[in-house]
Amino acid sequence: SDLMAGRYNLNDFNAMVACGGFSYGDVLGAGGGWAKSILFNPQLRDQFSRFFANENTLSLGVCNGCQFISTLAEIIPGAENWPRFVRNKSERFEARAAMVKINDTNSLWFKGMAGSHMPIAVSHGEGRVEFKTPENLTALQAQNLIVAQYIDSHLNVTETYPANPNGSALGITAISNVDGRIAAMMPHPERVFRAVSNSWYPEDWSEDGAWMRIFRNARVNFK
């Protein structure tokens, strides 16, 4: 709303996070509607296009923000094979803890986290990836843009419910654009960035939980 009204401009920022929690209305498909308010507004579309193209910026979308960012893929460099996020296979809203594994990609948000297996909060009704064509999924894999995947209790990537809460192919739940500056993820790292937010954590952890790393990565990128 501030950008639409001209009170702020993305040129004044070097990082943007589109948050979850039913942003842009407590309705299904809200993230898509949020994105279309930009795509169909020439001034905003141009502003976001320039921001995404600027190599000195970072962008992250979480949950509804993940839907939002993925729907803007047509104006994001290096995101031509991204999926959209649609209704869970269960046809239900899923709120639980899930385990994900972090892959070795060039995502700046997830730098230094490859090989980690981590619990995270999920809370969504529309988190299943849907690709335009099977070739888009193949290309996404070839580009190494799959940042995180749901895993089972044996640490294997899974498409099986409930370890995979939405039925996404290959357990895909976080993706990056080609240069690593822009990421979209369905689970909620901001809900478990403190150690005490976890039901169990190692005794040598103090204040920071494992997911604090992605926010520190963003800060380090602009030091």
- The residues carrying an active-site annotation are 63, 188, 190
Residue pair 201/178 in contact by the 8 Å Cβ criterion: no
Strands (DSSP E) along 31-190, which ranges? 58-62, 84-86, 94-102, 117-124, 128-130, 146-150, 172-176, 182-185
| Residue in the structure block whose two tokens are 């803007």 | 72
- Exposure string of 174-196, with b = 16+ CB inside 10 Å and e = fewer, is bbbbbebbbbbbbbbbbbbbebe
Q: Which helix (H) or strand (E) holds 70?
A: helix 64-71
- CA–CA–CA angle 140, 146, 151 (5° rounding): 135
Please tell me the distance from the alpha carbon of residue 94 to that of residue 87, in angstroms, as a whole number: 11
Picking from 111, 101, 114, 30, the residue whose alpha carbon sits closest to that of residue 67 is 30
